[in-house]
Structure 1
Amino acid sequence: MSAKERIEELRARMGQSIIGQRAVIDRLIIGLLANGNLLVEGLPGLAKTRAIKALAKNMEAKFSRIQFTPDLLPSDVTGTEVLYKSGDETEFRFDPGPIFANIVLADEINRAPAKVQSALLEAMEERQVTVAGKTHKMEPLFMVMATQNPVEQEGTYALPEAQMDRFLMHVNITYPPVEDEVEVIRLVRGEEIAALEEQQGQAASGDRPAPIPQETVFAARREIAAIHAADAIDKYIADLVNATRVPAEFGDDLKRWIEVGISPRGSLALDKCSRTHAWMSGRDYVDPEDVRAILPDVFRHRLGLTFEAQGEGVTPDQVTAEIVRQVALT
């Protein structure tokens, strides 16, 4: 079975647990294949944690969940040196924290203070953790998926721009349509019945499908690296990012709305995600629609809006849509 077929199987399995969130499932898989970290935002109860767990459950990967709270310490995330004694000998050994996993769920990341949030920076960017002067490497397959609640701000700490930029994409989860919500009710009801039957030993026997091996992800990444991007596509990506830096050249609205433009890290993220989107669409080249499809998720957390824009209720997605309208493919 090819890497593409296995990834399609992963997508299908996740779709069985997450109803009506096909775009979210695709973004989670794109983040995995693009070797990036994701920030997932949505109101409580919209299956943010469930979606991330569905990805980890169907992968041959070690999963770890960190529930961020105001009293969390950096060592609770990274691990610490522990003194061990054996007979007359004592030594310090590194006790790895929950960050040492393949897929890490940082739940409600904005509930932890800045010191703890910054503990993730080195792991997310450098794929390593330094404790007591010693560097400890992460696994080759490593991904942080952080969630945050956009409305409840009491007892939260806003993520600094430096950390926001470390996330490859900012994925929004919205309310499902009514017909999908009906399916959600039936799905969860069926899961509860199955769990009760299993407790009573009445569950039907059957083998759970084998998890998708990690090598599938690495094979897919090698294929994605070979996806062709024409010079015009590279120029289009650069022009889209540049429009956020010189908004006055693209109309009065963008001039009023954008205060801080996007760094080259945004260009690199847009290139990687566009090539991954093209691969998942079954093409060996990047189309302009690949760029436009992934653009809001890459720009959403990187655009710095003015107070005027925020006062008018202008969202980053509206600004992104205007940039797409103003910037031509040349």
Structure 2
Amino acid sequence: MSQFIDDVNQRTQLVGQNRMELLLFHLGGSQTFGINVFKVREVIPSPPLRQIPGSMSVVRGVATLRGGTVPIIDLARAMGLRGGAGAGDSDAQKVVVTEFNRSVQGFWVSAVDRIVNVNWQDVKSPPRGTGRESFLVAVTEIDNKLVEIIDVERVLSIVNPLPTEVSASLREDAVTDNARKVVIVDDSMVARKQIESAIKGLGFEYLVFKDGQEALEFLEQTAAEGPVRDVIELVISDIEMPRMDGYTLTARIRDNPALKDLKILLHSSLSGEFNTDMVRRAGADAFLSKFNPDELAAAVLDQTGRENQKPE
């Protein structure tokens, strides 16, 4: 398995090319699911677990991995699928160890398939009516079969809800005139709600888009009607999104003379030096790891210059 997920850092050449790699797996049935490889630390056989009294039913227990304690979440149970990921061949069951939103957790799955390389343009919004669309960020087709890409931030929010309120001191520091809006771009429903709450706490008005292509089309239309900076204060964009990722969105904005002066804050559940480097290369003004409402608020105030100047 170490050769299967050998070294995620070697895969960073895909970043900025509107491409990603998906780890494919199953949750006790025939449906194939996927998760962005950049969120994956490693894939391991099912480890021994210690039970936590009073824990939620979706948490199978905790495991000691590389000297740390990691909660192991039954992904199928968290999504409300029958049987849970424990169904099927016990030898095939794996734990996908992930790192995002500044935390490490394992997802229990019934079987791991393989890694595939896909273009974000081939990744679409999830169809309605599946009964689990609230847990999906997107779908794509591989080998003529539908692959459902899981919103792991949504799953994690069930087990470990994150605060969304901005502290009173930062709210008091904000100076807003509501003349211009903040554009929020994120494919995760949970992430959008978190960002909306923080932005609303500062007194900004905002517009929300689910992917980079949708946001770019709006910005281009706005620019066609007049100076875009008269309407838009700041663009806050996720990086990993269907159709057009945040790096590509940033590059397209910088390449457009009517949009190039917009302030752009890239906001991702992924951390690491490669993100910081790609932010500079793509032309964004700042990068922030998800999710701390006060850090986001401070970054917004810094980028917009809307912080009260306190007397010395």
User: Normalization by structure 1: what TM-score?
Assistant: 0.25
More helix by share: 1
User: Normalization by structure 2: what TM-score?
Assistant: 0.26
Query: Quick one: higher RCO (CA 8 Å, sep 6+), 1 or 2?
Result: 1
More strand by share: 2
**Which one has the largest radius of gyration?**
1
